[in-house]
Chains A and B, each alone.
Chain A
């Protein structure tokens, strides 16, 4: 207990001093996770919308695949991305392994099924007659989809929150494809693992507090957006 309290006190001191390494790690975590979330949304929202609204023979298979992807273990994603980006792998010539881009790719693979799957569920929960009504009011297909997204903004923002939450807190894939290299690919979660393994609990607690605060602030902003004019 004494160790924990000392750790918290040291963590507060570390934060107040504005340690440059801590700031760098924090900023990299934010950049990587936000970029991965945005890419996941850009890919997941249209795909989820298509799978929710279109009718074609293999639709159920693709939805099942997306739903399975929502439960994909990060270490498995890390393994697959590592195999592809490894120097002798199919995409080895791109020299992306152990770079922040590798972490972004892995995190997109984790968050994208979540964005698509939650979009499918959000749109399928809506009254299907609403689509007919919108078309009956003279909406083009694009206007109809935009109106449906607007109407489903609550569950869609929840999808965004879930996607960001899954990548900011993920450690396995980032460690495997990023390598936790100081000054290059070390993010908050991988740094916490490292500091804990070294017995540097104060640093680990400080980084954990930052991670929790960041997660809270981003989620608070998204929740405010979600609940706006509800």
Chain B
């Protein structure tokens, strides 16, 4: 895998406030790199600086194949899709060909490419329609066709589907994913939606407050978050601080508020760690049944504090001397007569716990 785009010591400030601080990051050729993070994380700033639309305070971004390119020449190696389609008051055909006309591509070539990409995005029937008469989904398809038909080495997308309704968004996401894999198009895709990131990305870069917290394959970020913030962002609801009190091979005993948890990890005795546990990995048993049939190592007696009904699932907030959240199906909750104040046993495997070691936790706090 060769590198297409590199970021070096990129710092962007606005009124002395650091918006983005990115020491190193690279985008590989043919990959879809998703930059994800909450609002104000610096995602769009990163994208605009990568697209040559925003001058960094220091550091630089460059194509490995053309490190000397800057300004207009650099911008013409890239195409962009924004959240709003921002189409001109003209026909669909004219809008799609606009970037090619800026590059003074011959008319016959413009026609060929526009026709091809309209077909790819299923909008050939809209060619003569004026852009202000399109639905949100159609307009975003035109915006995608406009970017793809430039056939640039890199496409950048800034939350392209966030303003669309859910069915249209799902449909376009599926088509985009298929189009990106079929064409091998390198893409930087910015979103605040983790599900979208997992659906589209080969690798995911997670940003918080302008700093990169993790950059790995999408599934890896989901399974093994490196900082408590990333863990929280990827849906880990139980992030429990504790201290490693003993260790047998990879099996660790972690002291948490007088209780002991067992987890698998590489931390050393005395280390401060964060035990990350997804609510869906916790099984609840009535106290009498006490879950002996399970081989899980962790069995914590708890009292139910709250039940929150969420359609087919019930979110259960537990008090195990420290707060814990579990997720069970509605039939299970009904079968066990779960209610606030009920005593239950929370059971989970040692391997269900992902440990974030103190080094990472400290770095997270520092950032």
Residues of A within 8 A of B (CB): 127, 129-130, 132-133, 135-140, 143, 147, 150-151, 230
Pick from A132, A138, A150: contact of B72, CB below 8 A: A138
Top 7 nearest A-B pairs (CB, nearest first) are A136-B80, A137-B99, A133-B86, A138-B76, A139-B102, A138-B102, A143-B102
CB A225 to nearest CB in B, in angstroms, measures: 15
Interface centre among A138, A140, A143, A230 (most CB of B within 10 A): A138
Pick from B51, B72, B84, B98: contact of A140, CB below 8 A: B72
- What are 28 contact pairs spanning A and B, CB under 8 A? A127-B86, A129-B82, A129-B86, A130-B86, A132-B53, A135-B53, A136-B51, A136-B53, A136-B75, A136-B78, A136-B80, A136-B156, A137-B79, A137-B98, A137-B99, A137-B102, A137-B146, A137-B147, A137-B150, A138-B79, A138-B99, A138-B103, A139-B99, A139-B102, A140-B102, A147-B98, A150-B88, A151-B88
CB B231 to nearest CB in A, in angstroms, measures: 34
Query: What are the residues of chain B within 8 A of A129 when measuring CB–CB?
Result: 82, 84, 86
**Other A-B pairs, 13, CB within 8 Å; known A136-B79, A137-B102, A138-B99:** A130-B86, A132-B82, A133-B80, A136-B51, A136-B156, A137-B80, A137-B98, A137-B150, A138-B102, A138-B103, A138-B150, A139-B102, A143-B102
CB A77 to nearest CB in B, in angstroms, measures: 36
Residues of B within 8 A of A (CB): 48, 51, 53, 72, 75-76, 78-80, 82, 84, 86, 88-89, 98-99, 102-103, 146-147, 150, 156
Closest B residue to A136 by CB, please name it: B80
CB A54 to nearest CB in B, in angstroms, measures: 15
Docked CA distance A183–B147 (Å): 61
State the main secondary structure of chain B at its contact with A.
mixed
Closest A residue to B91 by CB, please name it: A229
State the main secondary structure of chain A at its contact with B.
helix
Query: What are the residues of chain B within 8 A of A147 when measuring CB–CB?
Result: 88, 98
Docked CA distance A150–B89 (Å): 9
Query: What are the residues of chain A within 8 A of B86 when measuring CB–CB?
Result: 127, 129-130, 133
Pick from B48, B79, B89, B146: contact of A132, CB below 8 A: B48
Docked CA distance A138–B153 (Å): 13
Docked CA distance A143–B100 (Å): 12
Docked CA distance A135–B76 (Å): 9
Query: What are the residues of chain A within 8 A of B102 when measuring CB–CB?
Result: 137-140, 143
Closest B residue to A148 by CB, please name it: B88
CB A217 to nearest CB in B, in angstroms, measures: 27
Docked CA distance A137–B146 (Å): 8
Docked CA distance A133–B48 (Å): 10
Query: What are the residues of chain B within 8 A of A127 when measuring CB–CB?
Result: 84, 86
CB A148 to nearest CB in B, in angstroms, measures: 10
